[in-house]
Structure 1
Amino acid sequence: MSVFDRVRSPQDLKALAPDEVAAYCAELRAFLIRSVTATGGHLGSNLGVVELTVALHRVFDFKTDRLVLDTSHQVYPHKVITGRGDRFPTLRRTDGLSGFMHRGESPYDTFTSGHAGTAVSAAAGLALADKLRGIDDRRVVAIVGDAAAASGATFEALNDVGQGDTNLLVILNDNQWSIARTVGAMRKYLNRIRTLPAYREGKGELHEALGSVPFFGDRLSRWAGNVKEAFANAISPGHLFRELGWTYFGPENGHDVHRMEQLLLDLKRVKGPVLLHVVTEKGRGAPDKGHEAAHAVSEPKLPRPAGEPQPLLAVEPVAPVVKYQDVFARTMKAVMDHDPRVVAITAAMPSGTSLDKVAPEHAERVIDVGICEQHGVALAGGLADAGMKPVVAIYSTFLQRGYDQIWQEVVVQGLPVVFAMDRAGIVGGDGVTHQGLYDIAYLRTFPDIVLMAPADPPELDRMLRHALSLAKPSAVRYPRGGHADAPLAGNDTPVRTGRGELLREGKDMVFLAYGNLVREALAAAEELSEVGIEAAVFNARFARPLDTRAIDRFLESHRLVMTVEEHAIAGGFGSAVLEHIATLPTPPQAVVRVLGVPDQLVWHGEASDWRERFGLDARGLAARARRELTALASRPSEDPSHTTR
């Protein structure tokens, strides 16, 4: 039996002989490469923390001690060590293993996470709670990696915690993408002796002895402290952290598992806020290091099932998928070629938003602010105030992090900033922390902002150009990926603020569809036509301002109106329609139903699976329409009923 197969729990890992640990790390890394290559996921970041994670589990007991991972996309080794290796074929799948820390999945997962910059704060809260309760027999460890170390939220936490005496160990996982690497034998030696309790106690005794010298004692003590500090600053890069009040150690080789284990054993006894700086290699051991060094989610490469015959004849080619991200990149390049005032801003996602395809020709006007959404939004406000045309390309879930800046720096100023909200709707494998299901609700409460969503990728081009022509804030939401079939028939008219487009006539009912579910509504209407039901489909285009003239016509001409959106029902497009209905002088005859994502957390899994569960796919929409029309057939026409269920 291999070393890897013998480890099914942290206790098994602790039982390994020292000379077996390196072999286990190699086999764990090989397992991750095989598994994640098949399922897809964040491979590079996990390959970089194998030795660090193994050392942590050999030193700490994370059923008692607490481990908090920033972002937590580097959680895979932790999951394998804590007994979840057998579930890796289900990674990021519906009802399968989460790709992030998940409190409901294991007692070893202390804190559910997915966004960056929050680990130090959350860990500090856990450590402070222990201190206030008088618990001193466990430690709290936070790992901060990638660009999260430069996040404003991280520095807020470092600044606050460093002023106290809370026992907290923060490990800065430097994969050489943000903080510069430093080497030196003296640095290793000094860091080693400074971890020893005897040295820390001896340092205090030295100052006490110097302080006892008559007249010059206090001065000698201060001088000794200043000399030590100046010397440390000269040879170690941790001056910033020490100034913030942290005891700093590093940089250390994060792939030397024996050194990591020895160092962590020593640091476990050090009191107060401690920061350990380790240097790792993102994508270590991966066949394609170039790809895995980037913050990217590998696409699954599932093999053909065993025994299934391989195709001998050429298959009919599949139509290429037209992606929203590709359309966004082409449009941005075109408008930036034409208008030097257009500036693109992203928050550490140039590849995900496809701005990396625009940057080579417009490097000065494609700005990556890192994981600093607040800064990015406020920067856009300043640019707009100076006459530029900023486009903030950002995932829907991450725009939440700049909410106050949207309000004060953009909306209050009435500035023409365009928010291009990628990954809107159900995102799939990234799961609950990344769902783009709340942007309509958190934006449409703002006065005089324009909210729109394209029904297909070509419409995104027209909406972006329209947004850039406005003299006010605007936001365009669109999902990841695209469609392999042709653009929607009839969906090619110019975009006008607050005006939708009727794509299909029908006298029995109407789907008021918003965004990417217009396509599902059209398919549902086609299915309904097969049973003699004529359903109209209206591409709403705008959630603010609504096309109230069209909505009012439908309310008078149809007995059933169903709003459809891939967004939380609470506060979404359908809610806006109901709010409009409440302002009408007389209730309409139509029954209104609001279809969207119900009031619940949406976890990881295929987006298509979740649409089916929520009845938001074509079959579900058609079935709901049939049920509602059947109920209406037995109800007097003068008995309207408005509900969101």
Structure 2
Amino acid sequence: MPENLLSNINNPTDLRLLDEAQLPQVAQELRDFIIDIVSVKEGHLGASLGVVELTIALHYVFNTPDDALIWDVGHQAYGHKILTGRREIFHTNRQLNGISGFPKRSESVYDAFGVGHSSTSISAALGMAIASNLNGDFNKQHIAVIGDASIASGMAFEGLNHAGVTNANLLVILNDNAIGIDPSVGALKNYLTAVKEGKNPRQNNMIKSLNFNYSGPIDGNDIFAVIKELKRLQKIKGPKFLHVITTKGKGLQQAEENQVQYHAPGKFDASTGEIIPKSEENLPPKYQDVFGLTVLDLAQKNKKIVGITPAMPTGSSLKFMMDALPERAFDVGIAEQHAVTLAAGMATQGMTVFCNIYSTFLQRAYDQLIHDVALQKLPVIFCLDRAGLVGEDGATHHGVFDIAYLRCIPNLIIYAPANEIALQNILYTAQLGLESPIAIRYPRGRGNIPNWKKEHFGHYQKIEIGKANCIKNGTGIAVLSNGTIGNNVSLALNEIENPDTIAHYDFPFVKPLDKNLLDEIFKKHKNIITIEDGTIIGGFGTAILEFAAQNNYHSNIKTLGISDEFIEQGTINQLQQLCGIDVNTLKSLFRSYINK
């Protein structure tokens, strides 16, 4: 049995001491290590398996961290983390107080740039390269590794466009595997496929046209071919572009054959690759499935309905509609700005547009939201999946800012359903026709009604815009909740003594607020608590504070939510505890008010 090489690699300097002929063994050991850990601890699998050889080659050839290696998105950076001093703690990946699932500057000097969203690598690497020139360091290398799904984003082309007229020492490596999370889409994907198949004449190379020294395509899973080409490119100055072809999930048969499912498969058998099934019997539905099934049902009855998602058809469950009505449901790739303005264009022509974007990714299309939709009062229906704390993906992915950044936009309705029934009813209500756009925010994960589909699906009721409601009467404190976090309030109230002193109100509309009910509440209650699964600053609680100030109410108001800091990774329950919005913390808080 050959000596284990990976166990002796604590940093890339150790890696460079090995003979090149030993690197395939390192690749096998690195793959096995990733599979063993992720099979138990969960995480992103396929992307990192696909770039094992490329990762080893980059650290073997280049003098990292002095040479800057920038990963795009970060799903593919597990091997990088293991080779750069985090092998012994890799089992803490994506866990509370563990290492991040994405590159993070504060975690390692080898993480040259923090990342979780896509298409940032080229601009960041170009910025570093230009700075190096200004600092007189003309030998430092700057390498951006970007996937074929990410390079189709507008920001990536902005970076390429600028880089092509500089003398920056920049190497862009296109990791071409024809898939992001879902299969890559669009004309650029078709172009890259033609290049791979040799159908596109070299003189018609669009990257060369942008003034890059282009090479490839080469087999990115052939470590010797990759090292040879990197060594050649290392000596060439100016902007360079290397096209490598890899197989997502490489080395695990099931991950290669089912790349969508094995992007982040959950727990699986490390030896067979078989996913360990989770019993879904009698479980409530996932909110994204409530969205996907409801929109499909509505679309089958309303021919004006169209659906749009930027590269998340499976994650958002718009795939139900894409499969059944492909001519009316669109995956536009990783292009949130385009998705929003595309929706606006469709809305001008009388279409009823459901634009499904993860909350954290709508941040990337803020100008379009204001300039192209709200300013023109176009009734686009934004469905913000993964709103609030999302768990193990951490700070880059929490959807906690949307209420605050949406609340200041004129003409925009903001709604957060308390449960599955409310979600399907607001989707139904929105497609009946609104005079302005609406943002509907709902969390990652499951609801709380196990029999929703059997007993409630399709039984729609119109929701009155701006209406809040009393869930529970009380004589003392009033708790005002927004969205599904209100379920934590209800659970807490069910488990405390003397709950009759606490009233609970569901305020699904952050905008417009139910001012009539608020008048009643402030006249009746001296102590008010607001709670939201979003940032306190500028959020729902702030809206209540503003209402009190504007109307000269003097009740004591306590706002609960996400404090003024970036929340790291952990389970949703752990993170709710950190933020003081979990059931147990609420029970203690309510008891303290009762005892006063």
Q: Do the two structures share a fold, i.e. TM-score over 0.5? A: yes
Q: What is residue 546 of structure 2 aligned with on the other side?
A: 579
- Contact 2:493/2:499 (<8 A) preserved: no
Does 2:590 correspond to 1:622? no
Q: What is residue 572 of structure 2 aligned with on the other side?
A: 607
Does 2:332 correspond to 1:369? yes
**Counterpart residue type for residue 90 of structure 1:** T
Q: What is residue 446 of structure 2 aligned with on the other side?
A: 482
- Contact 1:73/1:99 (<8 A) preserved: yes
Q: What is residue 387 of structure 1 aligned with on the other side?
A: 350
Cα 1:273–1:317 change in 2 (3 A) is: closer
Paired with 1:383 and 1:328, the residues of 2 have a C-alpha distance of 20
Decide which of 270, 289, 299 is 2:266's aligned counterpart.
299
- Contact 2:149/2:334 (<8 A) preserved: yes
Q: What is residue 309 of structure 1 aligned with on the other side?
A: none
| Residues 317-350 of structure 1, C-alpha deviations (whole Å, 9 max, x = no match) | 9631321111111111111000010000000000
**Counterpart residue type for residue 517 of structure 1:** I
Paired with 2:359 and 2:16, the residues of 1 have a C-alpha distance of 42
Paired with 1:86 and 1:280, the residues of 2 have a C-alpha distance of 27
Question: Offset at 1:624?
Answer: 2.3
Question: Offset at 1:486?
Answer: 5.3
- Contact 1:238/1:249 (<8 A) preserved: no
Paired with 1:616 and 1:237, the residues of 2 have a C-alpha distance of 60
Question: Offset at 1:487?
Answer: 8.1
Decide which of 456, 464, 487 is 1:496's aligned counterpart.
464
Secondary structure (helix, strand or coil) at the match of 2:314 reads: coil
Paired with 1:379 and 1:299, the residues of 2 have a C-alpha distance of 34
- Contact 1:455/1:541 (<8 A) preserved: yes
Percent identity between matched residues is 38
Paired with 1:484 and 1:532, the residues of 2 have a C-alpha distance of 22
| Residues 201-237 of structure 1, C-alpha deviations (whole Å, 9 max, x = no match) | xxxxxxxxxxxxxxxxxxxxxxxxxxxxxxxx97437
**Counterpart residue type for residue 522 of structure 2:** L
Paired with 1:138 and 1:50, the residues of 2 have a C-alpha distance of 24
Secondary structure (helix, strand or coil) at the match of 1:19 reads: helix
Cα 1:158–1:396 change in 2 (3 A) is: same
Q: How does 1:623-642 map to 2 (within 5 A)?
A: 623-628=588-593, 630=595, 633=596
- Contact 1:181/1:251 (<8 A) preserved: no
- Contact 1:377/1:392 (<8 A) preserved: yes
Cα 1:349–1:234 change in 2 (3 A) is: closer
Question: Offset at 1:238?
Answer: 6.8
Secondary structure (helix, strand or coil) at the match of 1:13 reads: helix
Question: Offset at 1:411?
Answer: 0.7
Secondary structure (helix, strand or coil) at the match of 1:578 reads: helix
Comparing 264-273 with 293-302, which one deviates more in the overlay?
A: 293-302
Structure 1, unpaired ranges of 5+: 188-232, 304-315, 634-645
Q: What is residue 292 of structure 2 aligned with on the other side?
A: 329
Question: Offset at 1:484?
Answer: 4.9
| Residues 13-46 of structure 1, C-alpha deviations (whole Å, 9 max, x = no match) | 1111222111111121121112112122111111
Question: Offset at 1:527?
Answer: 2.8
Comparing 450-459 with 1-10, which one deviates more in the overlay?
A: 1-10
**Counterpart residue type for residue 569 of structure 1:** I
**Counterpart residue type for residue 245 of structure 1:** N
Q: What is residue 173 of structure 1 aligned with on the other side?
A: 175
| Residues 340-376 of structure 1, C-alpha deviations (whole Å, 9 max, x = no match) | 1000000000000001122111101110110111111
Q: CA RMSD in A?
A: 2.3
Paired with 1:290 and 1:392, the residues of 2 have a C-alpha distance of 30
Comparing 269-278 with 293-302, which one deviates more in the overlay?
A: 293-302
| Residues 393-442 of structure 1, C-alpha deviations (whole Å, 9 max, x = no match) | 11001111111111111111111100000000001111111110011111
Does 2:222 correspond to 1:256? yes
Paired with 1:511 and 1:494, the residues of 2 have a C-alpha distance of 25
Q: What is residue 210 of structure 1 aligned with on the other side?
A: none
Paired with 1:368 and 1:291, the residues of 2 have a C-alpha distance of 19
Q: What is residue 211 of structure 1 aligned with on the other side?
A: none
- Contact 1:502/1:539 (<8 A) preserved: yes
- Contact 1:458/1:487 (<8 A) preserved: no
| Residues 77-130 of structure 1, C-alpha deviations (whole Å, 9 max, x = no match) | 101111212222221111112110011111111111011111100111111111
| Residues 152-211 of structure 1, C-alpha deviations (whole Å, 9 max, x = no match) | 000011001101111111101111343216469xx9xxxxxxxxxxxxxxxxxxxxxxxx
TM-score (norm 2): 0.91
Comparing 504-513 with 348-357, which one deviates more in the overlay?
A: 504-513
Secondary structure (helix, strand or coil) at the match of 2:244 reads: strand
Paired with 1:143 and 1:104, the residues of 2 have a C-alpha distance of 20
Secondary structure (helix, strand or coil) at the match of 1:507 reads: coil
Q: What is residue 245 of structure 2 aligned with on the other side?
A: 279
Does 2:374 correspond to 1:411? yes
Decide which of 464, 476, 495 is 1:508's aligned counterpart.
476
- Contact 2:70/2:145 (<8 A) preserved: yes
Paired with 1:234 and 1:73, the residues of 2 have a C-alpha distance of 30
Paired with 2:350 and 2:499, the residues of 1 have a C-alpha distance of 55
Paired with 2:128 and 2:12, the residues of 1 have a C-alpha distance of 22
- Contact 1:612/1:620 (<8 A) preserved: yes
Q: How does 1:529-568 map to 2 (within 5 A)?
A: 530-531=497-498, 534-568=501-535
Decide which of 352, 355, 361 is 2:318's aligned counterpart.
355
Question: Offset at 1:297?
Answer: 2.2
Question: Offset at 1:6?
Answer: 2.6
TM-score (norm 1): 0.85
Secondary structure (helix, strand or coil) at the match of 1:74 reads: coil
| Residues 568-623 of structure 1, C-alpha deviations (whole Å, 9 max, x = no match) | 00111111111111110x324x2111111000011111111010111101221222
Cα 1:532–1:495 change in 2 (3 A) is: closer
Paired with 1:354 and 1:508, the residues of 2 have a C-alpha distance of 42
Structure 2, unpaired ranges of 5+: 180-188, 271-278
Paired with 1:90 and 1:126, the residues of 2 have a C-alpha distance of 30
Question: Aligned pairs, how many?
Answer: 569
**Counterpart residue type for residue 29 of structure 1:** R
Paired with 2:239 and 2:521, the residues of 1 have a C-alpha distance of 63
- Contact 2:428/2:462 (<8 A) preserved: no
